[in-house]
Amino acid sequence: MKHPYITRKKGICGGKPIIVGTRIKVSQIAIEYERLGWTPDQIIQAHPHLTLAHVHDALSYYYENAEEINADIRAGEQLAEELRKLYPRSALEEKRRGSQNLHE
């Protein structure tokens, strides 16, 4: 099946499938729909430059390539977890903590 709104470009988002004319990865749309439970209309509210055709094509591409996209999502989650272990507190959190200590 052809996906007119999905492309891959070397050097953009690591060559992962994205919505044409954007840097929004298919995996991001899949997460918003599957994990966050957003409707296509809510996805469009979050990304007003997208159309329903974009979102539905991204979801269609996702379901046809779920194994690949889910592997990409898992890899991103693993990277985030590794970074949390390396950098347990963000600079912003440290700044907030410092500010709270001043008020106590």
For the domain that residue 12 is a member of, what is the CATH number?
1.10.10.10
Closest CA to 18 of 62, 26, 53: 26
Is residue 76 situated within a structural domain? no
Is residue 60 situated within a structural domain? yes
Q: What is the pLDDT of residue 102?
A: 59
Is residue 102 situated within a structural domain? no
Give the containing element (helix H, strand E) for 19.
strand 18-19
Question: Helix 66-86 vs helix 52-64: angle between axes, to the nearest 10 degrees?
Answer: 90
* Tens digits of residue pLDDT in 47-103: 999 999 999 999 999 999 999 999 999 999 999 899 888 887 766 777 777 766 655
Is residue 95 situated within a structural domain? no
What global pTM score does this model have? 0.80
Q: What is the DSSP letter of 6?
A: E
Rounded CA gap, 33 and 80, in Å? Answer: 20
Return phi, psi of residue 95, to 5°.
-65, -45
Its domain, for residue 66, covers 1-71
Is residue 34 situated within a structural domain? yes
Number of domains in the chain: 1
